[in-house]
């Protein structure tokens, strides 16, 4: 069982279960924070170590689509990479924030697109 300096294994398991995160990941985050890392550093580190958040995508497929880990990974391998999609995208909506932020961003985008379409029709 991984350990943290000041937290008992029972507390670590409780936090891991409550947040539905792997115990090893929780311990790693605590160690980074104990070492002086900041939340933006952890987010950047996680992104770099998971290949642009592939782990998040796999977890989402497993949770929302009921796929096994191998099915989720196979589906991700069959798709274009994030870099490939971004290279050809005209519009990119960032959905990494809260639902309210996403709603605001989509609303602003929709308003801008409607204005553009009206101008093009004139």
CA distances from 76 to 57, 82, 87, 95, 98 (A): 8, 10, 18, 18, 24
Identify the band that residue 66 occupies on the pLDDT scale cut at 50, 70 and 90: very high
Sequence-distant (≥ 6) Cβ neighbours of residue 30 within 8 angstroms: 4, 7
Is the pLDDT score of 40 beyond 70? no
Span 71-84, average pLDDT: 80
* pTM metric for this prediction: 0.38
Q: Rounded to an integer, what distance in angstroms lies between the CA atom of residue 18 and that of residue 83?
A: 33
Q: Where are the domains of the chain?
A: 90-122
- What's the confidence (pLDDT) of residue 44? 57
- Highest mean pLDDT of the ranges 3-12, 24-33, 87-96, 105-114: 105-114
CA-derived radius of gyration, the chain? 19
């Amino acid at each position: 069982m991984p350990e943290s300096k000041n937290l008992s294994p029972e507390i670590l398991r409780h936090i891991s279960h409550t947040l539905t995160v792997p115990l090893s990941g929780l311990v790693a985050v605590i160690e980074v924070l104990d070492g002086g890392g900041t939340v933006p550093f952890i987010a950047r580190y996680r992104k770099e170590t998971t290949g642009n958040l592939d782990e998040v995508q796999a977890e989402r497929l497993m949770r929302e689509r009921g796929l096994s880990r191998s099915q989720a990974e196979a589906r991700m391998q069959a798709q274009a990479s994030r870099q490939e999609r971004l290279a050809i995208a005209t519009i990119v909506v960032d959905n990494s924030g809260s639902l309210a932020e996403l709603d605001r961003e989509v609303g602003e985008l929709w308003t801008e697109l409607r204005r553009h379409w009206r101008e093009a029709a004139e």
